[in-house]
Structures are given as C-alpha cells and as structure tokens.
Chains A and B, each alone.
Chain A
C-alpha cells in the first residue's frame, strides 16, 4: 500500500478547501487499489516532551489518597487541580488545555506505556521513537510511515522538524526526506546569488558513505527555501507568548508551534511536523520546574489551536504529545522524582473526540515503585496513522494493537 505522489500533489491543490473526509477503512481500500482519487490534506503534529515528563503531576489523580501520600512535598493540592472528572484533573497551570478539554478537543489517554519498561532515557527514547520495545528497529516510526507509504510524496516539506537543527529520530529512515528548519527567516543561503547557486551545486553526486545524505540535505534545503520564498504570507492570529519569560526561560515551544502553523497555512505539502521541548528530567525542584514547562506547553498548544482556527485550517490538524517515560510515584528527597514508566498522552485538535481514554494506573499496585501501564503506546500511534492520516498502521508498527477511537466520526 502506498500513498502515491499524485495523492499528495492533489491534496496540495486542495489545501484550504474543507477537508474531504474519507473513512479510514475505505481509504485503505481505495489506496490499496492505487486510486488517485483519494484526497487527504491532513497534518499530524508531534510534540515531544524531552526528559521524561511526570505524568502524575500533569494529569493528577487528585481523588486518590495514595497520590497525596506519595507526593507530600510536590503533590498538587486537591483544590488547585483543574478537574477533568471525578478522579483526575490537570496541573493548575494548564488552563488552556482545560479549555480545550471543555470544548471537546482534548483526548487524555491515561497510563500509556509498554511491557517491561526501561528506566534509561536512551533506551526509552529508542522504544518510543522506533515504536519497538525490543529496540531492534533501525528506522523511526514516522520515518517508516514516510518512506514506505508516502515515499512518492518527494516534496521535502512533507515532513518538517521545526525549531530544531537536528533530524528527530522518529523521522529518520532510509528513504525519508525531512526538512529541518530552525527558523524560517534564517533558512537561506547567505551571501547573495553567487552563493545561492554555489552551495547546492557543491553537493551533487558527492562520493563516499555520506555522499547521498549530504546531497539530500542541500537539495532538501534548496527546495524548501524556494517553496518558502514563494509562499503566501502568514501572520499569527494570536500572540503565542514566545517572548514572555516563564520562570526564567523563553517559550521555545511556542516559537516552534507558531512556525508549525505558518508551515501548515502556507505549505500545502506539509504532512508531519515535529517539535520538541526539553527539560522534563525533574530529579529536583520539580514543583517549580515542571510548572514552568507545563505553562509553556499550555500556552504554546492553546495558542496554536486558536491560530489554526483563525486561519481556517483547524479541521486539518491533529496534535499529539509524548515523552519517553513518566516518573516514579514516590517523590525523592530533592523535591523531584526519578525515572518511571507509564504516563498520559494528549491528543488535541478539532477532529479529536475529546474525553478520557484508557484506565488510570493503580497507585498502589506498582512495579518497583512504578506505574503499570494500561494502554500500549502503539495504540495511540495506530490511531494517528490509521484513523487520522489514513495510512496502514500495522505495516508501520509490525502488528495491530487495541483500538483507540480518538477521532470524531
């Protein structure tokens, strides 16, 4: 099965038009028949929270006494929590996410993880990035999706890593082309027309083991620069607060998501965007540090959603968050938490059927002090690949997983 180049070109021509909804099952059938009539202008935005976000202080099981027992220093008080239901509520700084929940646009998937979790950042990252708890896969899950199902969509803007300078591992795969754009303004060859001709010309048929990779980097940049120069204008419809300082740091996620909105609004080819905010490895002073980070997440995502609404593209975009692990149930002696396991995932957007999904893990039936997951993370991947992008999830993930119906019919 393959989403053909023409599909993506066609979808590009339809950008801005109302999304034509093809039921996923039908879409797959149609795609299998290589029918070029499938139009799909949908975008997936992946937000990585690097370092292991503490899920229990993000979606707080406020009604459970065991939570307050385990978190005497950094626990969120019951009266501060933004209640989602009778058991769980959001961290008090996440007022924008609460509004999205109330509007039915935020799905909270609880207890997301996998069997035999690892507590190493790098192993856990590997599991999530490659969608492979055995850590044998060599290509990132989004890269596999790109390379195997969108490989004819050779437009380098189909997958964009924004506000970053390196290619995220999830998007790395042989055959996947990724534009890495740290800032739209700086995404150019400096020094005038002679340099702009020379730089890409240096990278033609470069020999050696890195030759193809090098040449692709420059040709990707060249095409992207050209597309950005020709793009329609965009200005944000809301203030993202990216220059406001929260507890001493600027909101780089807001910058990255504003750039994401710009790409979605001006570039019909965009299918997958990846942004990242680091700093969640809160071994100490978690109460202050995580509150600052979640404030940034909340401002960035809620501004992004308002901006998409204002530009009339909200129906085309689903955003999901992930982090390599949650954190230990019991706080440590440094007002922080050590590495843990399962945690909630947010899936956000106008096409999302808001609400609570999955069971909240028990706070007393633990595995070495860590939560036992209730939802496999690949069920979330499956939902966004299959139900949202219209791809074939099992070929990307290697198996089928219990279904999560996170999207509106």
Chain B
C-alpha cells in the first residue's frame, strides 16, 4: 500500500474541466477519460484517443505504465487484488511477476466435511470461499477454466461426491501437462457419468464422450470424421466408476437398503470414504472392446490411454486448446499468427500448461495497449474480484445464490461446451444481476470498505468512462462510490 496516500478529501470531485481537458484534441467522450480523482500528482498524461470509429471510442489505454500492466496481468492470471497486492506485484519486473504467477503451486482449500462433498452447492460455496481467499490464485483460476472447458454438470452425480472429486482434479492437474489432465478426465467419476462413458460397453458403445472429447476438448469440429466417433467409442468402452479401498482394490458398492433414506445411504458412503475408500473410473477388461480399431489414422487394439495420446498427436490439438486459452486469458479474437506461434511452444513443451500461460502473458499481443479491457469478466470472476477488491471475502454463499441471475451456476453449465465467453455474457438480465451483486457487497455487514479514492486507481487504473465519472461525481457517500465502482462497466472488464 502506498504510504504516501493523500489525506482524503470530502467527496470526490471530477471537474468538468478536468474530465474534458484530459481528453486530448477535444475528443470529448471519444476516449475513456483518464480522470484525476486524487490530486494532480496522480495524473498521467492521457494516451491519444482512439479513432471515433467505435462511437464512444476506445479506452485511453494505460498499459504503457508498468503498474497498470501489472494490474492487467493480475486481473487475468488471477481474479482480483487489494491495493497492497497490486503494490507488491508492481514492485517486480514484468517478467518476474509472470514467473511468480505461473509457477504458483496449487493451494489446497480447507478440508470439506465428507458429508458436504455430496452436494454441489456446498462444494460451490467452499470453492468460492477458496477462490476469494487463496494466495495461489492462478491454479485456482485454471481450475475454473478447466471446469468450463472439460465441463460436467452435477446432476448425474446425484448422491455421490463426484463434483468435489472433479474440483480437486482440476486444481491438482490444471497447471501441469495436458496429457495427465486428459487421462485424469477420462477416468474422472463425474465425467464418466456426465458423458455416459459408464454406459458404454463393447457390445453397445455409447458415442457421447467419444464425440465431445474430439469436438470440444481437443480438436474442434472438422478435426475428425463420424467414423472416428464410432471407433473412438469402441476404444473408450468399458470404463466404470468403482469404489476402491485404501489399498486401491475394488470393493463392492454398498446397496441402498430397502426402506433407508437417501441421507442414510450418504452416511453409509461417508463412513467408507472416511475409512480411506475412494471412487475412481476403472477400465473393466470384460466390458472393453479389445478388437482392432482405426482411429484418427491409427490402427491397433486402441484403448482409452492410446486415445489420449492419439488426440495429442493431432496437429489440430495444440491450436484448438491454445485458442480456447487465449479467448479466456489473452484476447477475444486471437489472430491466426498468434495462435500458431503460441501453440507451437505449447506442443513443443509436451503440452505443459504453464508454458502455454507464460507464452500468453509474455506475448506482445497481451501487452498491446489496444488489448486493454478486451475481455469480459465471467460472473464467477466478477464476484470473486468484487470480494477481493473490498476485502469482503465471506460472501461465498451469496455468490452461489447470485450466479444464476448472471448466467453462471457452477457445475450447471448451459451445455456440454461449458459457458460462452466475453460478449456472450452480456444481457439485460445478467447485467441487473451484476449491479445487484455490487449492492449486496457494499450493503453487507463486515469489515469497513477500503478507501474508495485509492481503489478507483488500483481497481480501475483511474481510467473511467463518462457514465462512471458522472455517477462518482454525483455520489453522496463512500458506499455509493464503491457501488459505482463495482457496478461500473470498467469493473466488468479485464
């Protein structure tokens, strides 16, 4: 935290002259107004306003400043930050900061009571609490990214703790290598249930997972034929969810006693899990099609593990996954050159996910001033960022409750493709959900809100448009100003 924080003034006054004068060339409203909210020393020369082509014009990008660039990176590699966290980040060179972030080891959340692992909402609440408080934000952000990319919904986990298990998988393997992650997914109980792998046998292969693993997870449409779907389904047949004892030996799943309630059955499973048992996907040789398949040009007795290796050997794989990562972390429409260059590094690293992220964050496209505020925060991202910015991190249950109104309920994606990104988040209803979450945060009981004058610089880089400037100028209280900050268009972007 800057120790030279100026004495707070009463109210924040953005004079009309300041706001107008700062937009160079008289291009009123044509550029994001870089407003001076504190004192003249905090004022940075505005960058040249963008062309008037975009109506209201472009944001006056501050990315030429190292502090703003650090904030830009923190918003994308993590969720959000306090003023002190930004100060610490900005004290490092950009390269060191990227290194520090991408090498963070996953931080385990507090143990969730076994009984609570059976309900996706208690798991979601526990996850939001961790996203809002962990010091290892990047692995947590990656867990959220993979939850959207290798998505599953909670319904088929009914009465089993599979949501919790998949959540841990994406935290544990989400910053490792793609091969390990995909192998984890193929045998992940929630995925096995969600895309019907447990319904697939040699006698009756089910195509659901076989199609989506190519179309949505690794290659994209056009990277395979219908014949590959059929052969892939054979190769992936025979996986079942088993209960393993602490030594890894399959044990019979207890039958629910006639007359017992679902809760009693859960307690029965809880006792087994607390005794060291665990659920896992297991290949059952008798149900697996042992025959020869021809899959994506490879012929042999292909099984699930070979499927993963064959997928990773396809030229479409690295560009497909890279494009997906870029639209979440880099820019909404990456150029073909950008994708090719970063995908080449990703593949050459044997699909090391940290290499992929480092390549994105250190690319010139990422740091390009025109790339400022080019991504829309997802609802989960927005809510966690609001909690972190205000220090009101105990609002996890409220986040679970509010997600639906913004179009994102964790473990309930709209389709098997997960959530669409950026512009697709925007709707009248979802934006009401966002401004109403801002109200919930500022009205919540809890610690006093941090100094809003400082926050306008740390959270919004001091770059605000005319709407936000007007509301902040007219605001009567600091709570009103915090509301404006959190509900603002600027805070929805990263």
Which of B206-214, B305-313, B314-322 lines the interface with chain A?
B206-214
Residues of B within 8 A of A156 (CB): 428
Is B350 close to A, CB under 8 A?
A: no
Is A315 close to B, CB under 8 A?
A: no
- By secondary structure, the A interface counts as loop
Shortest Cβ-Cβ A-B pairs, 4 listed: A333-B204, A334-B199, A204-B467, A180-B427
Q: Can you report 26 residue pairs joining A to B where beta carbons are below 8 Å apart?
A: A119-B211, A119-B226, A121-B415, A181-B429, A187-B429, A195-B435, A195-B483, A202-B467, A202-B489, A206-B56, A207-B59, A207-B60, A208-B54, A208-B58, A208-B373, A208-B465, A208-B489, A209-B332, A210-B423, A211-B54, A214-B489, A214-B492, A221-B428, A278-B415, A334-B200, A339-B211
B226 touches A187 (CB 8 A): no
Task: Looking at the assembled complex, report how far the CB atom of B465 sits from the nearest CB atom of chain A, in whole angstroms.
Answer: 5
Is A148 close to B, CB under 8 A?
A: no
Give chain B interface residues in 208-224, CB to chain A under 8 Å: 208, 211, 215-216, 221
B221 touches A166 (CB 8 A): no
Give chain A interface residues in 197-224, CB to chain B under 8 Å: 198-199, 201-215, 217-218, 220-221, 224
Residues of B within 8 A of A134 (CB): none
Give chain A interface residues in 292-342, CB to chain B under 8 Å: 332-334, 336, 338-339
A interface residue count range (under 10 / 10 to 19 / 20 to 34 / 35 or more)? 35 or more
Provide the B360-386 mask, 1 if CB < 8 A to any CB of A, else 0: 000000000000011010000000000
Residues of B within 8 A of A403 (CB): none
Residue among A178, A206, A220 with the highest chain B CB neighbour number at 10 A: A206
Give chain A interface residues in 147-174, CB to chain B under 8 Å: 156, 161, 164-167
Contact of B480 among A161, A198, A206 (CB under 8 A): A198
Provide the B22-62 mask, 1 if CB < 8 A to any CB of A, else 0: 00000001011000000000000000000000111111100
Is A232 close to B, CB under 8 A?
A: no
Task: Looking at the assembled complex, report how far the CB atom of B45 sits from the nearest CB atom of chain A, in whole angstroms.
Answer: 18
Which of B165-173, B264-272, B339-347, B402-410 lines the interface with chain A?
B402-410
Give chain A interface residues in 108-133, CB to chain B under 8 Å: 118-123
B467 touches A187 (CB 8 A): no
- Complex Cα distance, B489 from A337, in Å, reads 45
Seen from chain B, the residues whose Cβ lies within 8 Å of a Cβ on chain A are 29, 31-32, 54-60, 196, 199-201, 203-208, 211, 215-216, 221, 226, 229, 332, 373-374, 376, 404-407, 414-417, 420, 422-433, 435-436, 439-440, 443, 465-468, 470-471, 474-476, 480, 483-484, 487-489, 492-493
> Given the interface contacts A165-B404, A283-B206, does A123 sit within 8 Å of B32 by beta carbon?
no
> Given the interface contacts A198-B480, A336-B206, does A209 sit within 8 Å of B54 by beta carbon?
yes
- Complex Cα distance, B390 from A120, in Å, reads 43
B489 touches A165 (CB 8 A): no
Residues of B within 8 A of A213 (CB): 423, 426
B427 touches A167 (CB 8 A): yes
> Given the interface contacts A156-B428, A182-B429, A208-B32, does A165 sit within 8 Å of B206 by beta carbon?
no
B405 touches A182 (CB 8 A): yes
- Complex Cα distance, B416 from A50, in Å, reads 11
A120 touches B215 (CB 8 A): yes
B199 touches A283 (CB 8 A): yes
Is A65 close to B, CB under 8 A?
A: no
B416 touches A121 (CB 8 A): yes
- Complex Cα distance, B376 from A206, in Å, reads 14
Give chain A interface residues in 323-377, CB to chain B under 8 Å: 332-334, 336, 338-339, 368
Residue among A120, A201, A202, A209 with the highest chain B CB neighbour number at 10 A: A202
Residues of B within 8 A of A235 (CB): none
Is A95 close to B, CB under 8 A?
A: no
Residues of B within 8 A of A182 (CB): 404-405, 429
- Complex Cα distance, B439 from A358, in Å, reads 54
Contact of A165 among B407, B415, B416, B492 (CB under 8 A): B407
B443 touches A191 (CB 8 A): yes
B426 touches A207 (CB 8 A): no
- Complex Cα distance, B425 from A152, in Å, reads 26
A189 touches B465 (CB 8 A): no
Residues of B within 8 A of A283 (CB): 196, 199, 206-208
B226 touches A368 (CB 8 A): yes
B203 touches A198 (CB 8 A): no
Is A266 close to B, CB under 8 A?
A: no
Residues of B within 8 A of A181 (CB): 428-429
Contact of B465 among A164, A180, A207, A281 (CB under 8 A): A207
Residues of A within 8 A of B436 (CB): 189-191
Residues of A within 8 A of B204 (CB): 332-334
Residues of A within 8 A of B443 (CB): 191
Is A398 close to B, CB under 8 A?
A: no
